[in-house]
Amino acid sequence: MMNPARLMKSAVVVFILTQLLSGLPVMAAGPYRTPAEVDAWTRALASKHSQKVKLHAIATSPGGSALRVIEIGNGEPAGPAIFVAANFDGITPLATAGAIALAESILDGDTGTSKARWFILPMGNPDAAQNFHASVKRLSSANGLPVNNDMDEQLDEDGNEDLNGDGFITQMRVKAPDGEWRVSDEDPRLLVKADASKGEKGIYKLYTEGTDNDGDGQYNEDGPGGVNPGINFPHEFSMKDKEAGLWPGSTPETFGVMKFIYDHPEIVMTVTLGESNLLADLPQEGKTDFDPSRIRIPERLARSTGLSPTETYTMEALVSALSARYPDMMVDENMIISQLGLGPEKSFKKGDITLYTEWSKSYKKALETAGISSLMAPEKPRNGSFELWSYFHLGVPSVALSLWEPEAAKDTTAKAPGNGARGADAEKKPSADKQLLDYLDTRQVKGFADWKAFRHPQLGDVEIGGFIPYAANTPSAEKAESILKSQIPWIASMASMVPDITPGELKVTSLGAGVYRIEWFVTNQSRTPWPTEMGVRNQQPAPVMAVLKGSDMTILEGLARTPVTPIGGNQSKKLTWLVKNDRNSPVTIELESPVVRKQSVTIPLSGN
């Protein structure tokens, strides 16, 4: 009789051979998959759940990988949907694992679809994501689009090399009289920029590991690929950052996502899985680019409005003056900012921050229940990111989650009695690099390569070392599975947070002579307003409309198409019409919007 262990080993070999012969990639053990494996998984998922899952091919990366959005339906032909995008920067494998776990959780548990459909993009930057699985690991968000970063008429000619053969691209430090870096006071393994104003002098120059392949005196400045889709979106797009691309949407991954979302106006919320976390590090209300107490009116507008171009006005005074002059127009702060061109929005609105704060409390409670607390601060959202574009341009709630950060070590030495710390130094917190180093040391995780001497062919004597790629954002496969189990249920529960706009109480009053007053309440049964305060500001998305129809009806007061939104969370809005209907034939009111399930009410009119 065959040994059970040998039998299991034989079964595994047969499975792998079957996969290879069928042309499918061998699935990786653990949660971290290659781009090819992710694509195979999406197709297998659609085949397994053919009644609920639909795939949308939205783009092909410059490196040749397909980007597919997984649509998970709830049997409704319309209604609100959530778009989840993972790993746009290509350096967060856990984000892709989270998107995969979310889709499987929704389908296997049949949860999260009662009030919303889902669109899930598990890997937004497959070209860069491949680096995690390469024999030599390097931390780069650049996709496969060739870019001439150093403007020397050559493409991708000066990339990194693993000079010491340890399988990682780290850093090189070289002693130099004009060096900008010095050894950190916190830990001799760390380097910090020297501050000349404090009398500090640098002794090192710092490079990424590699050689000067093109002989221009620069090192590794033009490696393979070039654009990071994660910062190629329109909001605060940086023309100076070469990694951002030539213009917003210039790379196919970003353009494909934007087109898909604009083609699906039913999307009422986005979730970004990556490096930033807007619930752990709440957005702040910032300052505007103009002084709201001293606004000047351009001469061309002053002539038409009757205001003086030589005086300054407060925002409140302008709203009051223009409302009185144009009583038929809805004059508010948003309209004035837009008409006067006072600049783009750059900070989150106060009302939206209140919503984020509420969600943050719920999210952090879920983390505490799972035993996750005291994490290091996540990265801030970068200019041109998907999460900022979603909030500022689409006008929908945009939630960004990092899923994991190393636990922050508590600084006990600074406050210990007798340590000589005084004043501000006693309250000084360890730097992010020091906290990460302490985390790696206490858990004996190999995340930092000690500096070791190396004879460089061009620079001479150098030392190679530094943080190992992915140490700061990618936990072990075993830890990743427990992290996902603790967070995915909360993300799936976001389906219950989408705006839920439904018909409410209806009252019809006969006024005689075939005239009727119709009063109809429309209710948002969710705590989430629609749209966000930022959506009200930029007039995106399109409003929910109440449409009044009737074959023998004349509207005396009110509109045939009446905007219902904006409408706050757990609030109702009253709509009123005065109609004449001599034949007493029924009329219909219908809620019309991609974000609501089609709902209508028929009103039988009868009376004197």
Instruction: Give yes or no: residues 522 and 581 share one domain.
Output: yes
**Do 119 and 69 form a contact (C-beta atoms < 8 A)?**
yes
What is the CA 223 to chain-centroid distance, rounded? 27
Q: Same domain for 10 and 106?
A: no
pTM of the predicted structure, to 2 decimals:
0.86
So what's the pLDDT on residue 21?
A: 35
Question: According to the model, what pLDDT value does residue 110 have?
Answer: 57
The domain boundary, picked from 405, 433, 451, lies at: 405
567, two tokens: 């409408």
Which of the listed residues 365, 385, 405 is the one where a domain comes to its end? 405
Q: Which amino acid is at 475?
A: P
Contacts of 355 (CB under 8 A, 6+ apart): 397, 527, 528, 529, 532, 569
In a domain, 109, yes or no: yes
Task: Report DSSP letters for 533-598, one per residue.
Answer: HHHHHHT-SPPPEEEEE-TT-EEEES-SEEE---B-TT-EEEEEEEEE-TT---EEEEEE-TTS--
Residues 117, 9, single domain; the answer is no
pLDDT at 240: 86
Q: One-letter amino acid identity for 325?
A: R
Whether residues 117 and 249 share a domain: the answer is: yes
Residues 6+ apart with CB under 8 A from 547: 560, 561, 562, 589, 590, 591, 592
Task: Give the other-Cβ count within 10 Å of 365's Cβ.
Answer: 11
Same domain, 250 and 348: yes
Give me the pLDDT at residue 422, please: 44
Cα gap 225→213, rounded to integer Å: 16
How do residues 252-287 score in pLDDT, each as one tens digit?
999 999 999 999 999 999 999 999 999 999 998 876
Q: Quick count: other Cβ atoms within 10 Å of Cβ 334?
A: 16
Hey, which of 422-426, 567-571, 596-600 has the most confident mean pLDDT?
567-571
Q: Is residue 462 part of a domain?
A: no
Q: Which of 405, 429, 448 is the last residue of a domain?
A: 405
Whether residue 560 sits in one domain with residue 593: yes
Residues 2 and 109 in one domain: no
pLDDT band at 158 (very low <50, low <70, confident <90, very high): low
Strands (E), 162-215: 171-175, 181-183, 191-193, 204-208
Amino acid 597: pLDDT: 79
Burial profile 223-261: b = 16 or more Cβ within 10 angstroms, e = fewer: bbbbbbbbbbbebbbeeeebbbbeebbebbbbbbbbebb
Q: Dump pLDDT digits (tens) for 297-311.
A: 888 788 878 888 888
Q: What is the phi/psi pair of residue 507, to 5°? A: -135, 130
Q: How many CA atoms lie within 13 A of 232 on its CB side?
A: 29
Of 324, 317, 280, 278, which is closest to residue 297 (Cα–Cα)? 317
Same domain, 368 and 503: no
Q: What is the rounded average pLDDT for all residues in the chain? A: 85
pLDDT value at residue 287: 67
In a domain, 438, yes or no: no
Q: Are strands 545-549 and 204-208 parallel, antiparallel or unpaired?
A: unpaired
How much is the pLDDT for 166?
A: 94
pLDDT band at 222; cut points 50, 70, 90: low
Report residue 430 as tokens.
């360890």
**Do 17 and 134 have their domain in common?**
no
Chain segment 335-351, per-residue pLDDT in tens? 787 778 777 778 899 99
| 306 and 375 both lie in a single domain | no
In this structure, the answer to whether residues 97 and 122 fall within a common structural domain is yes
Is residue 125 within 8 A of residue 508, CB to CB? The reply is: no
Q: Is residue 279 part of a domain?
A: yes
Note whether 254 and 368 are same-domain residues: yes
Strand runs labelled E in 73-229: 81-86, 117-121, 171-175, 181-183, 191-193, 204-208
> Which range marks the domain in which residue 120 is found?
31-144+227-286+344-405
Would you give the DSSP letter of residue 276? Answer: B
Q: Which residue has the higher pLDDT, 292 or 245?
A: 245
475 pLDDT above the threshold of 70:
yes
For residue 42, being part of any structural domain is answered with yes
Query: Whole-angstrom Cα distance, residue 41 to residue 55?
Result: 12
DSSP, residue by residue, 27-93: PPSSS---HHHHHHHHHHHHHHTTTTEEEEEEEE-TTS-EEEEEEE--S-SS--EEEEEE-TTS--H
The verdict on residue 472 lying in a domain is no
**DSSP for residue 378:** P
Residue 210 resides in a domain = no
Residue 449 pLDDT more than 80?
yes
Assign residue 594 the CATH number of its domain.
2.60.40.10
Torsion of CA 489, 492, 493, 499, to 10 degrees: 170
CB count, 10 Å around CB of 409? 17
User: Is the residue at 371 inside a domain?
Assistant: yes
**Rounded distance, CA 478 to CA 482, Å?**
7
- The number of distinct structural domains making up the chain is 4
